[in-house]
Structure 1
Amino acid sequence: MAASGRVVVFGSLNVDSTSYVASFPEPGETILSHGFQVALGGKGSNQAVAAHVAGAPVDLVARIGADATGDFAIATLARFGLPTGAIARHPDAPTGVAQITVADSGENSIIVTGGANLALTPEVVDAERARIVSAALVLTQGELPVATIDRLAAVADDAGVRFVLNLAPPAAVAEPTLAAADPLVVNEHEARAVGVGTDAAAASLDEWREHAVSAVGRIARSVVVTLGAAGAVAASGEGSWTAAAPSVDAVDTTGAGDGFTGTLAAFLAEGRPLEEALRIAVAAGALAVQARGTVDAYAPRDAVLRAAGLDEAGDAWDAAGGAADDAGDATA
């Protein structure tokens, strides 16, 4: 079953150059990698691909350069079958790039150069108003100019279109932008940057759930906090929930958060409740860290639903289906 709700992603589009190393170098140290990969990246394009793989019809509004790197990005999106009609090429700026180092532990270090992504201005948002109005959900991230994020939130809110904000990295967006987010999606570090959460390193899922509850209506309409290998929590006016992640061997965590967010957006856009979309998104993130790379590590819809212990209708798989039924815990 394909998702019925269209997702419009305003986002960054980069090409990642990733080196795989035993451990991160110390300042001033030169080390040798044991692997290298060039792949599509950028939070916007990652999340658009994840939503598309999850079954949603997706429009990606992005900007790239008139260069070979941009050619590579378009070819990669075409390979996934993602429409590229809303991606324009900027003649005077390079395609955005990310330099990534992944240690054998699975952790990563990332440097991003925005390039043509910075040409995604508030004027582009206004020009794309018809696309926004026709969407079930609009998604963006903290890698775009703040004025663009603020304008997108205002246009979506005015049109009554659900606005999902992944504030990664943290950006100084306006209070009305945060207030319109439904949900605001952040990890624990980004949550603290907007006044949600605790400095306690060992805080439990239930403790983070309570922090998310405290932010509903005060900071955003609803809140999702991702907590890495522990899972994620969510809160809205309808309730609050935790979703514990399964124990897996992480190979590469790069882009796993984007896989989570794109999947979450896809299932929200088709009308699934936040509790269920959270559970499915945690399953998608857990599958993504078990393979190298970003978009090529995103599992297809049926595999994600099975990992979440659900079928297409949202019903739990029985034991004979082989799916775990303890992927998430709900707390009203």
Structure 2
Amino acid sequence: MTEEASKLLVFGSVNQDIVLRVSEFPEPGETVTALTVSRATGGKGANQAAAAALQGTVTRMIGAIGDDSGGAEARASLESAGVDTAQLWVCPDVGTGTAYINVRTDGENTIVVESGANAELSGQTPGDDVFAGAGWLLLSLEVPEGEALRFAARAKGRGVKVALNASPTLAEPLTEGLVDLLIVNEVEISGLAGFGWEQTADLATAVGVDSVVVTRGGAGVHLYRRGQPVLHVPAEPAKVVDTTGCGDAFAGVMVAALARGAGYQDALSQATGFAGRAAEHPGAMAAYFQISPTAGQ
């Protein structure tokens, strides 16, 4: 597969992450003191694009940022990872989205997102020439859901395969045949399917897609493909420091591998390994740079 034919499009959010490291998450009505506070570029779309580009995949980010320092830093971070940011729209009236992330000492996290410019993406999507040479489109849902799904339909019409990381969870059922690959965690698939991931071997048919990947953290991942046996790929052992952005890392690396022509099992192995290594370092995108041999090249 040529480099141009392996191009990946990522449609999703771009945020500035404010990360507070805490000994314990606060209970309702409780105040806790942060151990440290830091800022970095994040957002599901930006994280996925950076992870993909750091694998050597030609990657273009489609999203929105504010005309502010957070937006400028986000563009610079993405470009440092090798992401094409030509379709990163600058919203003049709304600031860059912000994610407030509490990270506990065992690596678990809670996240609250203020959408900012991400919510203004409607009506700002590029023309169909953006699909030229693209093999896959990866979507996530920290942007307006309707706009994301309309963009997916346009991609399908141009012969581009569509992967959806349905996080946050979809508000409406998927249109049959719109999505080729659905990437979700255990909670998200229960919301979409109406039952637990383990209750049927034909999960892909149940949610109207060709393939479903269910991520289960330390328990690994399960792949469901229509008419094929369920495949389980175990997680690699990791000394967990911070799980922030591990799901984004997984999605970005998996779809990047598929765009480069890898099979599903190989793509799953690459993604599981990368996400596990990312968990051993603090931060989301910052961790990707630390574990990627192409960083800075």
TM-score (normalizing by structure 2)? 0.91
Give the CA deviation at 1:196: 6.0
1:97 and 1:115 in contact (8 A); partners too: yes
Give the CA deviation at 1:134: 2.8
Give the CA deviation at 1:171: 2.0
Q: Could you tell me which residue of structure 1 aligns to residue 103 of structure 2? A: 102
Q: How do 1:149-168 residues align onto structure 2 when only pairs under 5 Å count? A: 149-168=148-167
Which SS does the other structure have where 2:46 is aligned?
A: helix
1:149 and 1:173 in contact (8 A); partners too: no
1:180 and 1:220 in contact (8 A); partners too: yes
1:212 and 1:225 in contact (8 A); partners too: no
For residues 201 and 80 of structure 2, the distance between their equivalents in structure 1, rounded to whole angstroms, comes to: 38
Structure 2 counterpart of 1:256, from 223, 227, 246 = 246
Q: Could you tell me which residue of structure 1 aligns to residue 189 of structure 2? A: 191
Q: 1:149 to 1:78 in 2, by over 3 A?
A: closer
Give the CA deviation at 1:44: 0.3
Which SS does the other structure have where 1:186 is aligned?
A: strand
Which SS does the other structure have where 2:124 is aligned?
A: helix
Q: Could you tell me which residue of structure 1 aligns to residue 292 of structure 2? A: 300
Give the CA deviation at 1:197: 4.8
Q: 1:291 to 1:180 in 2, by over 3 A?
A: same
1:89 aligned partner, one-letter code: V
Identity of aligned residues (%): 35
Which SS does the other structure have where 2:222 is aligned?
A: strand
Q: 1:58 to 1:302 in 2, by over 3 A?
A: closer
Q: How do 1:94-133 residues align onto structure 2 when only pairs under 5 Å count? A: 94-121=95-122, 123-125=123-125, 127-133=126-132
Give the CA deviation at 1:253: 0.3
Structure 2 counterpart of 1:241, from 203, 228, 231 = 231
Is 2:272 the partner of 1:272? no
Give the CA deviation at 1:78: 2.7
Give the CA deviation at 1:301: 6.0
1:46 aligned partner, one-letter code: N
1:196 and 1:211 in contact (8 A); partners too: no
Is 2:183 the partner of 1:182? no
1:230 and 1:244 in contact (8 A); partners too: yes
Q: Could you tell me which residue of structure 1 aligns to residue 90 of structure 2? A: 89
CA RMSD of aligned residues (A): 2.1
Q: 1:196 to 1:258 in 2, by over 3 A?
A: farther
Give the CA deviation at 1:173: 4.0
Q: 1:129 to 1:256 in 2, by over 3 A?
A: same
1:20 and 1:101 in contact (8 A); partners too: yes
Which SS does the other structure have where 1:124 is aligned?
A: coil
Deviation larger for 228-237 or 256-265: 228-237
Q: Deviations over 1:37-58 (max 9, x none)?
A: 1111100000000000111100
Give the CA deviation at 1:182: 1.6
Give the CA deviation at 1:215: 2.6
Which SS does the other structure have where 1:64 is aligned?
A: strand
Give the CA deviation at 1:140: 0.6
Give the CA deviation at 1:82: 2.1
1:12 and 1:63 in contact (8 A); partners too: yes
1:226 and 1:232 in contact (8 A); partners too: yes
For residues 134 and 276 of structure 1, the distance between their equivalents in structure 2, rounded to whole angstroms, comes to: 23
Q: Deviations over 1:113-134 (max 9, x none)?
A: 111011211x334x33211243
1:150 and 1:173 in contact (8 A); partners too: no
Is 2:210 the partner of 1:221? yes
Give the length in aligned residue pairs. 291
Q: 1:69 to 1:197 in 2, by over 3 A?
A: same
Q: 1:189 to 1:302 in 2, by over 3 A?
A: same
Q: Could you tell me which residue of structure 1 aligns to residue 141 of structure 2? A: 142
1:70 aligned partner, one-letter code: G
TM-score (normalizing by structure 1)? 0.82
For residues 173 and 161 of structure 1, the distance between their equivalents in structure 2, rounded to whole angstroms, comes to: 23
Give the CA deviation at 1:32: 1.3
Q: 1:218 to 1:171 in 2, by over 3 A?
A: closer
